[in-house]
Chains A and B, each alone.
Chain A
Amino acid sequence: MANNITISLDGLTKRFDSFTAVNNISFSLGKGEVLGFLGPNGAGKSTTMKMLTGYLPITQGRASICGYDVVSSPLSAQERIGYLPEGAPLYGDMSSIEFLRFVAEVRGFRGAERNQKVENAVSKLELGSVINKPIETLSKGFKRRVGFAQAILHDPDVLILDEPTDGLDPNQKHQVRSLIMEMAPDKAIVISTHLLEEVSAVCSRAIIISNGNLVFDGTPKDFAKLGPLDEAFRELTSEKSIKKRSNKKRSIKTRPKKENR
């Protein structure tokens, strides 16, 4: 039962001095699920992802990846994660191929195995035409794809993608989404996004956070039932509704318990 749980957050909290960026967030995600992680600017999406990937220290609570606690066994957790940080930072002075080889080597692949992993990622992201150009000379879309290639190179169990389609043209958005859906069956995927229609298009589950608090957890269909998407989003994340809910000390959870897991 529990062995299908790949990502688990339990009371995850992050405070910067006195400011609470992420407040007591709990959920778990199994293989085959694609989670759309939503919330207004500054809601705490990236901060949550940074804690999951072992970059930021956790103030309170726990998180684990495939059973490995991200604080006590960070390297085992990181081996199982592919991460695309916000804005897809890359080494601009390297070419895509050099960069992907570097990441593959840090992940422990050598020789033929390394080349095969890199080739695989290059063909999946269709990077062949730009492979020898310095990354800093690439267009935004290609840079994002290089970042994506880096994340999927080792065929990880968990993908954490911070705004993977941000700034891409409609064609490339479509391509990235198909890629995500193609990989979905045997991975647990978290994508943060500001595009509500993206959630209906690729996600099997949606979580909305606002001011660090979880305010919605359910399927995209449940979310759509709340009304037109952006109105529902505005309503859930408005100051008033957060106050109302925090008085009740509860957040909306329409997600049915899955017994079959």
Chain B
Amino acid sequence: MTQSVFDAFYVSSSLDLEELSKAVKAPYHLQLTAEETQPYQILDTFDQQIHGQRKILFSQGNRLLLLDWAKSLSDHQQAKKWAFVEELNAESLRQELGYVSSLRALLPVQTLKGRLINGSLLDDEQKTVARIICLCFETAPGKLLTLTGLNKIRGYGKAFKLLAELFSHPAEDDLTAFAGTWALLVPDFLPYTNKPQVDYLSQSPAYEVASRLIAAYLHTARLNEEGVCADFDSEFLHDYRISLRKVRSILSLFKGVFDEDVTCDLKTRFSDLMRQTNRLRDLDVYLLEQESYLALVPEILRSGLLTMFEEFAEERDRTQKKVKRQFLSKNYKQEMTALQKLCPHTPAQMKKAAAETLKVGSDGDLPVFDYASALIWKRYRKVRKLARRIDAETPDEQVHELRIQFKKMRYLMEFFAPLYSAKEMKTLIKSLRRLQNSLGKFNDCSVQQEALNAHITAHANSKQDNDLEMVKSVGALVAAIHQSQLEERIKIVANLDSFTSDETSTKFEHLFHLQPANSAQLAEKNV
């Protein structure tokens, strides 16, 4: 069997194999082997990356079958236990799934009863000249869905064509689209995204938009709790924290939308929540960076670093268990439910909440478009002012300040993106990306140096040989990271010009300032 270059794929409700066999004419004949009905699982990442590419991965025992919509159905063996794409044996399968994030584990999405039928089209020498794989699922009592893949074998194009012709009848209506087939296989599909969409009108009150954004991000955070507890992959915690951080930024950036006391109380409560997972995320990051850290120090110093990573791995284990206990605790659940209850859904709830619990602030009734434009415009000018003051000589503190303000500006732009022309926002955000990345890396470097120095301090007085070795290695690593930070700083300065340019200013002004007449006044009010 050669990697089939031209394959075909068909979907139908059922497939009469007997009829198919009869339809095959001499000198060919079809040899079929049907397996027993077995439970099959559909696997995907939590954020459905496979589904997003119109592919479906089925697993049964040691077997993996990948359906590439409208192209092929391929069969692979996987003896070892695995969770990530890079752990797959079959190179062709790894390649086909190459776009799946290496940080994401594959998890069961759905279990279905299915039956696999493997077939070979043989010629008069009993040579296989084409292959057929059928996966037949019972999607509901008495309802079948059959996925059929044909694989061509090099040099036997004619035979493949003959076989493909037997399938050329038009597909049944609801099965022509990927979505239709997917809906039959996974009827209760609930897509997950870490960027929840909140739809609103430009005239909606800012209060309503803010509370709905908080509700959406809080919900997103909660969707990740199970994955954090089960420790499927590190992205669950990452998304959980990003979602909570978004909530906190809404509270601190959306000035005047909520009552001040309410804002203050909520900020503390969300900060408390975040703090519980700080260490676990830090450790995750160190462990994910292990390879790149090792590459930064000379060969002879690596074993010292490995000692540190072993310690990190152990600590991570303990910390994960602790976080899990916290997430499962009564206190935690009560707090989360209470926070979720605070955010109103229906207009009636909204009214009640605005008056009683999540009290509305002085600017909460402003139309969100005006409110948002003023906020972003103001923040942009602040960032621009900071940026203009930075050159190669300015102290690091100012670069950090720029990063913080820049990030706030970006968050605001993200929260309010639906209010503006998608195309213009996209080009603007894209033009900011390079500076944003450098600022991010610059900060990562300084956080890492701090953490590693703390690790050194903690072991500095140790009398153990391998601790001494480790301290030496970590010292070398800190030096290397410091070097990267200096390089990032140079890049930041190089990218500032484009950010402070008239061209970028005009774009910001056009989107967030020179908008309908009445907004100018309100903008002034907020500045």
A is bound by B:
no
